[in-house]
Amino acid sequence: MTALAIDIGGTKFAVAVVHPDGTMTRRAELPVGPDPVATLASLVRDAGAAGLTGVGIGSAGPIDALAGTVSPVNIPSWRGFPLVDTVRELLADLHDLPDPHGFPVALAGDGQCMALGEWWRGGHGGHGSAPRVLLGIVVSTGVGGGLVLDGVPYLGPTGNAGHIGHIAIDPHGQRCPCGAVGCLETIASGPSMVRWALANGWTCPAAHPDAKALAADAARGVPVAQLAFQRTADALAAAILTTAALFDVDDVVIGGGVAAAGETLLAPLRQAVAKQAGLDFLHRLTVSRTTLERDAGLYGAAALVLPSEGRTPYRGP
């Protein structure tokens, strides 16, 4: 029993072969490049097919898990792209599977796979401990996420559950590119933070202002940069507590480029959660940073199709 895990990001694709005991081999990644299908084919070919029993794919959204299609915002040539069928065809071409159309290929969102991977391999549940509820959040160019409820990724009827970036934080706030008003993403994404900081007097020392430079300035004590992180922490805390009130969440794990700021984000976030939390059960929430980094998404993708030990099996959207 071996899974091929595929992580479709907006700028990079990654693959790995993952075994039920959590061993990861043949991990590789490539920039998406001008021909995303060729990039994917190259990675799949190099990973090999020995003993492969399923393929799990985590993809940047939006996705349609029922149709097996994806439309990653940063890959404009993929709109309603038939990713599941394409992967099946690649496998059939490259590895001569007896029944490529019957081969298990599961698709979920990248945030959902991150949450499931952290649950399985990141010390946030699993490993024989009691079933728990985990919220994973990816704070990056956008804000994504996923929920694991008692060991099962909750994907929703279309595969889009967990879009925490589009929880309304401020009904009087800015219009979000998604069409709604005051989404978490309009405040807490890397580009939103940088925009706000620049509009409020931040002078970036780097040639291209980005969240990394903003984090460096916040860590150095530049007040406007610290305020930008405080603002993001407040908005994230509101979204986390909203989700926790609905799902009785135990653990929150945060990944993505903005979370690479570490305690610059986590310290004000923990304080904001403690300050905003009301009901008793919300006060037991723990918030930590991913320990698996990008591998969380690969582990989660693999877990979609691997037999489970101590995990409730995934049953599809």
The site for Zn ion (CB under 5 A) is made up of 166, 176, 178, 180, 183
Q: How far is the CB of 178 from Zn ion (least distance, A)?
A: 3
Give the dihedral sign, CA 51/94/301/259. Answer: positive
Query: Could you tell me if 258 and 139 are in contact, meaning their C-beta atoms sit under 8 angstroms apart?
Result: yes
Q: Which is nearer to Zn ion, 183 or 218 (CB)?
A: 183
Residue 162 phi/psi, 5° resolution?
A: 100, 5
C-beta of 33: minimal distance to Zn ion in Å? 29
Which letter, b or e, does each residue of 293-316 get, where b requires 16 or more Cβ atoms within 10 Å of its Cβ?
ebbbbbbbbbbbbbeeeebeebee
Q: How many CB atoms lie within 10 A of CB 13?
A: 22
Nearer to Zn ion, 176 or 301 (CB): 176
Q: What is the nearest approach in angstroms of Zn ion to the Cβ of residue 166?
A: 4
Structure-token pair, residue 8: 């479709």
What span, in angstroms and rounded, lies between the C-alpha atoms of 272 and 203? Answer: 26
Beta carbon nearer to Zn ion, 137 or 213: 137
Q: Which of 221, 201, 204 is nearest to 213 (CA)?
A: 204
- Minimum distance between the CB of residue 180 and Zn ion, rounded to whole angstroms? 4
Residue 7 or 185 with smaller CB distance to Zn ion? 185
Cβ nearer to Zn ion, comparing 124 with 166: 166
CB of 136 to Zn ion, least distance (A): 18
Nearer to Zn ion, 66 or 73 (CB): 73
Q: Which of 107, 135, 85 is nearest to 8 (CA)?
A: 107
CB of 34 to Zn ion, least distance (A): 29
Q: Over 16-45, what HEC string results? A: EEECCCCCEEEEEEEECCCCHHHHHHHHHH
Alpha carbon distances (Å) from 14 to 7, 11, 17, 144, 296? 5, 10, 11, 18, 12
